[in-house]
């Protein structure tokens, strides 16, 4: 059937967008806040419209993939018991128990780069930190860190290329990692370690054991979210602080300001670019008619730079209303792991600012931007003074 609706408004895969995504999103938010493209369907750029989509769970479904995704790709009522299962892993008590191990990892990595020049932050800090923290939190062996790094990179490349065959193979490879982990734990019997992986393996939904494919999906979603967003966040935070030495000095003097600074820096340029929804019925956004079955992509980075909510959005400001910050999403699917992410970023920033000397961009080594669907940097070189 011929689609008689308006032609496409933008090309999110153009060189202009890929080379400078934030500026492109800002332009679209002003010029065409609900825009149609071949690659993304409808893209939603304004804060109020993003909130409207992600909080209207009747009209905009999270079931956007033919592959089961637990719990990210579920709607109510199926979503509720899985969300109830997952949330206790991120309580204040759990975070307090994990903080010492998190501090040890952060301190070791901070000491390894202190006083050095031309440090590629992505390769030597951001990715190692995300991988080590993920394995430590879930109780996975260190031997999985390098396979997970390769898996994350290949998954990003396949997603960028739209290579569905490669994406399927990569997903199967991750599933094999998890199946092997679970089988090893079953063989350990009473000697199995007590950690989130074991707890999920033993958990039930409505009195029934969780199917192994759902366990794999939960752990895959945690891993994709953790490795990609934490690594991107570290790069974005350090680039901003390297470019703003007075703010860097302020945080060295008062580490209690770090949590607010982290949220504000990542509001300016966040680690997660978009999420998808599917319209279950007709809807209207900014006078654009959304039809049943249409793909709708919410743009978190753009929403967090909306001038109507955050005046002069490029400026770092103390005291902004961070309750409006969509860094961790909103609605039923707001990120359950936000407490863990906040802990990790706070602890790493504290370690770097206390252990390393002042840092600045390496002269003549321009950062290399990451390409969508990633955010942040592929490479970021910084020089560290002696502490």
The strand ranges marked E within the chain are: 34-37, 41-44, 60-61, 119-120, 204-205, 208-209, 274-279, 283-285, 288-290, 295-299, 359-361, 368-369, 377-379, 381-384
Burial of residue 357 (CB within 10 Å: 0-12, 13-18, 19+) is middle
Residue 4: the pLDDT is: 54
For the segment 111-156, what is each residue's pLDDT rounded down to a tens digit? 999 999 999 999 999 999 999 999 999 999 898 888 888 887 887 7
Q: What is the Cα–Cα distance from 10 to 35, expressed in whole angstroms?
A: 7
DSSP string, 55-99: H-TTTEES--SSS--TTTT--TTTHHHHHHHHGGGGSHHHHHHHH
For the segment 278-318, what is each residue's pLDDT rounded down to a tens digit? 999 999 999 999 999 999 999 999 999 999 999 999 999 99
Residue 3: the pLDDT is: 53
Q: What is the mean pLDDT of each run of 10 residues along the chain (387 residues)?
A: 69 94 97 96 98 97 89 94 95 97 98 96 96 94 87 78 80 85 87 91 92 90 85 98 98 97 98 96 96 97 98 97 96 94 98 94 96 92 90
Distances (CA, A) of 206 to 71, 84, 216, 219, 312: 15, 11, 19, 20, 49
Residue 6: the pLDDT is: 60
How much is the pTM? 0.94
Residue 1: the pLDDT is: 43
Residue 66: the pLDDT is: 81
Domains observed in the chain: 15-384 (1.10.630.10)
Sequence-distant (≥ 6) Cβ neighbours of residue 334 within 8 angstroms: 328
């Amino acid at each position: 059937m011929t689609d008689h609706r308006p032609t496409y408004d933008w090309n999110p895969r153009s060189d202009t967008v890929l080379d400078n995504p934030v500026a492109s999103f800002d332009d679209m938010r002003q010029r065409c806040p609900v825009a149609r493209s071949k690659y993304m369907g409808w893209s939603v750029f304004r804060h109020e419209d993003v909130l409207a989509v992600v909080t209207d769970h009747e009209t905009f479904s999270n079931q956007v993939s033919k592959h089961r995704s637990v719990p990210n790709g579920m709607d109510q009522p199926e979503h509720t018991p899985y969300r109830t299962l997952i949330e206790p892993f991120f309580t204040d008590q759990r975070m307090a128990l994990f903080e010492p191990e998190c501090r040890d990892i952060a301190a070791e990595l901070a000491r390894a780069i202190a006083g050095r020049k031309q440090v590629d932050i992505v390769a030597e800090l951001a990715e190692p930190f995300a991988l080590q923290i993920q394995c430590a939190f879930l109780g996975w062996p260190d031997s999985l860190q390098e396979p997970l790094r390769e898996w994350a990179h290949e998954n990003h490349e396949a997603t960028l290329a739209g290579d569905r065959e490669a994406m399927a193979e990569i997903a199967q490879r991750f599933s094999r990692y998890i199946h092997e982990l679970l089988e090893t734990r079953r063989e350990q019997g009473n000697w199995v370690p007590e950690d989130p992986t074991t707890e999920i393996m033993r958990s039930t939904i409505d009195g029934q054991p969780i199917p192994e494919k759902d366990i794999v999906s939960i752990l895959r979603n945690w891993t994709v979210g953790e490795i990609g967003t934490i690594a991107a966040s570290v790069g974005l935070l350090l680039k901003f602080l390297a470019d703003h030495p007075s703010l860097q000095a302020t945080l060295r003097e008062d580490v209690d300001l770090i949590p607010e600074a982290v949220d504000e820096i990542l509001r300016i340029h966040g680690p997660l670019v978009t999420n998808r929804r599917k319209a279950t019925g007709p809807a209207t956004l900014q006078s654009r008619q959304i039809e049943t079955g249409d793909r709708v992509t919410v743009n978190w980075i753009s929403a967090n730079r909306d001038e109507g909510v955050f005046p002069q959005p490029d400026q770092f400001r103390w005291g902004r209303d961070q309750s409006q910050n969509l860094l961790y999403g909103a609605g039923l699917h707001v990120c359950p792991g936000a407490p863990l992410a906040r802990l990790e970023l706070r602890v790493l920033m504290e370690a770097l600012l206390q252990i390393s000397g002042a840092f600045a961009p390496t002269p003549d080594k321009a950062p290399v931007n990451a390409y969508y669907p990633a955010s942040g940097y592929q490479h970021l070189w910084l020089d560290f003074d002696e502490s």
